[in-house]
Copies of this chain bind each other. A is one copy, B any other.
Amino acid sequence: MKKTKIAILGFGTVGQGICDILLQKKEQLKKQYNFDFEVVAVSDFNNGNVYNPNGLDISQMLEEAKAKKKFTKDIVKWDNITLIKKCNADVLCELTYTDLKTGGPAIDHCKTALKSGINVVTSNKGPAALQYPEMNEIADVNNVKFLIEGTVCAGTPVINLTDGPLAGCEISKIRGILNGTTNYMLSEMEKGMGYDEVLKIAQDLGYAEADPTGDVEGHDARGKVTILANVVMGASLKISDVPCQGITKITFDDIQKAKDNNARWKLIGSVEKKDGKIIGSVAPEMIDLSHPLAGVMGATNALTFSTDLLGDVTIVGPGAGRIETGFSILTDILKIHNSSLVC
């Protein structure tokens, strides 16, 4: 059985999550999917860069990272770009932090890998939201894949759902709850608290950042809407093409008014075909309680796809989490593994 050689950039929550899963599921993956692997390279800003063509000791690396220690084995002095070029991996997992303004170094990481004939799997929204069409073209030219299930709703099947079991359906509209933090806050506000009070709790729980702007102003959801428009509906939208309104102006009175109308506020991201054009938007909406999206509470995400053959199909699942996002990386690695069996 040929082993898939994996390189990982970013050994934070998701990087450690996928390594935990790979270790835990090693035997099952061999048995069920004829899939075996070795992690040959890891790069991390805090822990250091390591490389071993025969496979790194990821158990030890996980222990070191959890103890906030630097890696001690197989250290190399290469920068990330050199590591990508020299590691001879089959798949690069780009798991560094998301920068929706510039894309950060992740864009160079992805391009370097694709141009070197290395498949890229990423949960980093930067490259996908800012440059999906270009990335996809570079992947095509180099006969590799650029897979991004983890950029929307963690490992909950979204892109691989439309690309797989929904193939053959035409999708005319996508609407959903794409940001767990704001959905949690709106759920809590129904219990009678005001915006500021709820934000404080969300921050204490680690759902919202110290600077919550990216979530509460809808920027995170806007990045995901851009990705869905470009990946699922074949558009070429820029993030700035998507009008965006967050939840900061929702008052306790608004919440009460919705209740009185058998409805509930949700921050809705949507993509729609209108007059032949694809249009995205992010805005709070009052959703009737009978709609499947209305029952999606807390940090959960959900998306409704409007299709020609099935009508509406809704998927509900986790929108974040170490193992949940780690799974998005596994599912895309398995997709590459399966397609590599194709002549």
Contacts and interface: CB of A to CB of B under 8 A. Distances in A.
B161 A334 contact: no
Interface residues of A, number: 50
Given A157-B161, A165-B331, A168-B29, A312 B317 contact: yes
A230 B317 CA distance: 24
- Among A157, A296, A323, A330, the most chain B Cβ lie within 10 Å of the Cβ of A157
B157 A313 contact: yes
Interface stretch (A42-50, A55-63, A235-243, A284-292): A284-292
A292 B295 contact: yes
Interface string A155-186: 11100110011111110000000000000000
Nearest to A308: B323
Copies of this chain, count: 2
A316 B311 CA distance: 11
Nearest to A305: B317
A309 B290 contact: no
A313 B310 contact: no
A341 interface: yes
A32 B166 CA distance: 13
A23 interface: no
Contact of A164 (B21, B160, B297): B160
A294 interface: yes
A17 to B, nearest CB: 9
Interface in A40-83: none
15 contacts: A33-B168, A155-B309, A157-B164, A157-B166, A168-B330, A168-B331, A290-B297, A292-B302, A294-B295, A312-B316, A312-B317, A313-B317, A313-B318, A314-B317, A343-B343
Contacts of A317: 310-314
A156 B33 CA distance: 25
A90 interface: no
A327 interface: yes
Given A25-B168, A165-B157, A290-B295, A313 B316 contact: yes
A309 B296 CA distance: 19
A315 interface: yes
Nearest to A187: B290
Contacts of A154: 310
Contact of A342 (B149, B155, B161, B342): B342
A316 B165 CA distance: 14
